[in-house]
Structures are given as C-alpha cells and as structure tokens.
Amino acid sequence: MPKTFTPNFNRFNSLFELVSYFNTEQKCEKFITANRWGDDIVCPYCGHHHCYTRSDGRFKCKDCNSNFSCKADTIFDNTKIPLLKWFMAMYLISCHKKGISSVQLAVDINVSQKSAWHILQKIRTLFAQDDSEALDGEVECDEMYLGGRETNKHQSKRTEGTQGRSTKTKTPIFGMVERFGNARVLKVSDTKASTLRPIIEQFVADGSHIFTDEYQAYKGLDERYMHSVIQHGIKEFSKEGITTNSIEGFWAYFKRMVFGTYHYVSTKYLQRYIDEAVYRWNTQIDDEGERFDIMLSKSIGVCTYEDVKMIA
C-alpha cells in the first residue's frame, strides 16, 4: 500500500505563501523528512527502522548499509530540479482547472520545457486511478474515441453500429461516472462487451444503478446491476431521469483539457492525461490548497522507481 501522510502545516493560500515558506532547499527536505518519517527514518530499500542521519543530511541504513536522501523512492528522486520548483509545479497544477502545459510551466518556474514536461509526467503518476473505492449509487457508463478526424462517438455509433469501428486512428476510452460523484476512466483496447464488462465489475459495486446508451456491449448488465438504457437516437435524454449527462459532462471537460491546454496527447501517455482529468474531476469541490495537500501527500513514498523509470 502506498504510504500517505497528513501534511503537517497550515494550508498555503497562494503561491506567494508557498514560495515564502519554502525559501531554501533544506527547508523543503526537512519538510519531506518530517512528513514522511517523523523521527523514525525507515530505509526505503530494506524497510529497516531507525536509520541514522549523516553529517551531510542524508541517511544511512544500519542493516543494508544504503545511503539515501529524503527524496529516495519518490517522484523527486534522481533529479536536479530544486524541490521548491517541484512544489511550485504541484501548486500551479492545483490552480489550473484545465491543466497546465509544459510550455507554460517552464516559463512559470524557470526551467527548460523538457524539464517541465518531465515534471508534469512524473506528477501525473500521482493521479493513477485504482479500485480501492468502488463507485456506487447511480453510475453512468459510456465510451468515447479520441483522435482521428472526429471524436463524436454518437455519430460513429449511429453510422456503423457495433461492428467495424476502426481503432487504427482512434483510441477508445471507457468512462464510469457517479452522478454527483467520482469518476473512473480508462484507455481500453476495444469496446467489446468482453472488455468493458470486467472493467465495470471491477470498479462499480454490485447492485448499483447503471445508466448507459443502447450500445450492444452493455446488454446483460441487468444480471448484476439495475440497468437503465437511454436511446440517444430517439432523443430520450431526460425521460424519467434516464440520462447520461454526468458522463457527457466528463467527456466535455476532458476534451477541453486535451484540446484546449495540451493540443495533442500521444496514445502512449494518454492514460496519464486521463488520470489527471479524473483527479481534477474527483477533487472539484476541493480548493487549490486541498488539492495541493493531496498531491504532496501522494508524492511521498508512493511512486516506485519503476514508475519513474518508465517516463524518465
């Protein structure tokens, strides 16, 4: 299980407050150390407790003899970028509702665009979705296609039905959104029932009320869920509350983020951008300070070396 902590400071209400507080690298390191371990420094390599502090501020494990810093096994590991810039980046990401481009971040924190890109990619790893908390209640499910010449999935559904939809130029994405609640959204290989059903069963609690359109892949959901179908073709959008307005809202939001801020996202990193959008969607009611807290708490001890290496 990833280690999380409750940040031990009064909330920062502005970037200015953040920068004023973390005015030295040592202060940032002290903050990470205190919040990550308190007084009991634990070796990130062997799990040994009570490692000792060296004169240079790094730590040494008495058991496996590893030397390590407070940044070991976090997203800040193996980087020359000052911690303050990382913290600023996280704060700026918290503030920009539609995301922040690497070009803009580079200007804002005075790093190269390449460094800004790496920072953003690493921070996005903190947003990875999991199934630790199932969606329940009223859940709307839907698919969309990103890329190619058009992204309007209703058009493609109407014209081609369930057969022969090419995924050569478009990437299918599958979304599940609670009404007035959380979302889980995944890049998928295809939108066949055999692909979507296990995902729904993984992320949506049994007995929930699922709303979908009439797409064939959703047939049979009523074996495990209450299932209501909306027929887009005959304009039944608001009949008896049978709508997919929540998931449509998410798709609109996601497209604004992708096309408005990032302009282009590669298929390779698509899931990370989806994760970012889902994170923003799920924390809509939080303010910048709260979002920053969550991000910071996730950044310590959650990102494995393998995660980082994948994008390094």
For residue 174, the SS3 value is strand
Q: How far is the CB of 275 from Zn ion (least distance, A)?
A: 31
Q: How far is the CB of 44 from Zn ion (least distance, A)?
A: 8
Q: How far is the CB of 42 from Zn ion (least distance, A)?
A: 9
Please identify, using beta-carbon distances, which residue of 63 and 290 lies nearer to Zn ion: 63
Strand ranges (DSSP E) for 238-293?
A: none
Binding to Zn ion by residue 61, rule CB under 5 A? yes
Please pick, from the candidates 64, 205, 226, 310, the single residue that binds Zn ion as defined by CB under 5 A. Answer: 64
173-202 positions binding Zn ion, by CB under 5 A: none
Contact 175, 222 (CB under 8 A): no
Please identify, using beta-carbon distances, which residue of 22 and 59 lies nearer to Zn ion: 59
Q: How far is CA 60 from the centre of its chain?
A: 33
Contact 124, 196 (CB under 8 A): no
Please identify, using beta-carbon distances, which residue of 40 and 206 lies nearer to Zn ion: 40
Q: Which stretch binds Zn ion (CB under 5 A): 60-68, 109-117, 124-132, 271-279?
A: 60-68
20-59 positions binding Zn ion, by CB under 5 A: 43, 45-46, 48
Q: How far is the CB of 63 from Zn ion (least distance, A)?
A: 5
Please identify, using beta-carbon distances, which residue of 61 and 88 lies nearer to Zn ion: 61
Binding to Zn ion by residue 62, rule CB under 5 A? no
Q: How far is the CB of 257 from Zn ion (least distance, A)?
A: 41
Contact 279, 182 (CB under 8 A): no
Q: CA-CA distance, 279 to 182, in Å (whole number)?
A: 9
Instruction: Name, in order, each residue with C-beta under 8 angstroms of 272's C-beta and a sequence gap of 6 or more.
Output: 121, 124, 125, 127
DSSP codes of every residue in 194-236: HHHHHHHHHHB-TT-EEEEES-GGGTTGGGTSEEEEE-GGGT-
Binding to Zn ion by residue 120, rule CB under 5 A? no
Q: C-alpha distances in angstroms, 106 versus 48, 87, 113?
A: 39, 14, 5
Q: How far is the CB of 51 from Zn ion (least distance, A)?
A: 7
Please identify, using beta-carbon distances, which residue of 63 and 222 lies nearer to Zn ion: 63
Contact 278, 257 (CB under 8 A): no
Please identify, using beta-carbon distances, which residue of 46 and 103 lies nearer to Zn ion: 46
Q: Which stretch binds Zn ion (CB under 5 A): 64-72, 104-112, 131-139, 238-246?
A: 64-72
Count of CA atoms in the C-beta half-sphere (13 A) of 36? 24
Please identify, using beta-carbon distances, which residue of 47 and 137 lies nearer to Zn ion: 47
Binding mask of the shown chain, residues 66 to 105, with x at each position contacting Zn ion by CB under 5 A: x---------------------------------------
Q: What is the crossing angle of helices 113-124 and 102-109, to 10°?
A: 110
Binding to Zn ion by residue 63, rule CB under 5 A? yes
Closest CA to 32 of 7, 59, 60: 7
Residue 139 main-chain phi, psi, to 5 deg:
-125, 125
Please identify, using beta-carbon distances, which residue of 72 and 274 lies nearer to Zn ion: 72
Binding to Zn ion by residue 232, rule CB under 5 A? no
Q: How far is the CB of 66 from Zn ion (least distance, A)?
A: 5
Q: CA-CA distance, 230 to 95, in Å (whole number)?
A: 36
Q: CA-CA distance, 272 to 259, in Å (whole number)?
A: 15
Please identify, using beta-carbon distances, which residue of 43 and 210 lies nearer to Zn ion: 43
Point out which residues bind Zn ion (CB under 5 A): 43, 45-46, 48, 61, 63-64, 66
